[in-house]
Amino acid sequence: MVEKVLQQCGAFFLKFDWKPFLKLHLNFKSHLMNIAILGSGFIARFYAESLHAQRRTDRITSVYSRNLENAKRFADDYQLSHHTDVMQEAVNGKDIDVVLISLPNHLHEVAVAECVKAKKHVICTKPLGRTAAEAKRMLDMVEEAGIFGGYLEDLCYTPKFLKSLESIRQGSIGRVLWAKSRETHPGPHSDWFWDKEKSGGGAIIDLGCHCVEISRNFIGKNIKPLEVMCWADTQVHPIDAEDHAIGLVKYANGAIGQFEVSWAFRGGMDLRDEVMGTEGTIWINSFLRTGFEMFTTGKGDGYVAEKAEVNKGWLFPVGDESHELGYPHMFTDMFSAIEENRDPQETFYDGYVVNAILDAAYKSADTKLWEPVILEDWRGDNPDISRKEFTSYDDDYFLIKEEVLPNGDSKLILKHKVSGEVVQKTN
Nearest residue (CB) to ligand NAD, 190 versus 278:
190
C-beta of 339: minimal distance to ligand NAD in Å? 23
231 binds ligand NAD (CB under 6 A): no
66 binds ligand NAD (CB under 6 A): yes
183: nearest Cα among 255, 250, 263? 263
Please, which of residues 268-297 interact with ligand NAD by CB under 6 A?
A: none
207: nearest Cα among 158, 241, 237, 252? 241
196 binds ligand NAD (CB under 6 A): no
Task: Give the Å distances, CA to CA, from 283 to 161, 195, 196, 271, 274.
Answer: 10, 34, 33, 11, 5
C-beta of 12: minimal distance to ligand NAD in Å? 53
C-beta of 107: minimal distance to ligand NAD in Å? 6
C-beta of 85: minimal distance to ligand NAD in Å? 9
Helix (H, G, I), strand (E, B) or coil at 297: coil
Please, which of residues 108-137 interact with ligand NAD by CB under 6 A?
A: 125-126
Q: Which stretch binds ligand NAD (CB under 6 A): 65-73, 92-100, 156-164, 418-426?
A: 65-73
Element (H, E) at 2: helix 2-15
148: nearest Cα among 116, 117, 122? 122
Q: Which of 36, 58, 91, 104 binds ligand NAD (CB under 6 A)?
A: 104
103 binds ligand NAD (CB under 6 A): yes
158 binds ligand NAD (CB under 6 A): no
Which DSSP string do the residues of 324-365 spell out, in sequence order? HTTHHHHHHHHHHHHHHTS--SSBHHHHHHHHHHHHHHHHHH
267: nearest Cα among 218, 310, 237? 310
Residue 22's CB is within 10 A of a number of other CB atoms, namely: 10
Q: Which of 84, 102, 286, 347 binds ligand NAD (CB under 6 A)?
A: 102
84 binds ligand NAD (CB under 6 A): no
Site of interaction with ligand NAD (CB under 6 A): 39-44, 65-67, 102-105, 107, 125-126, 152, 154, 190, 192
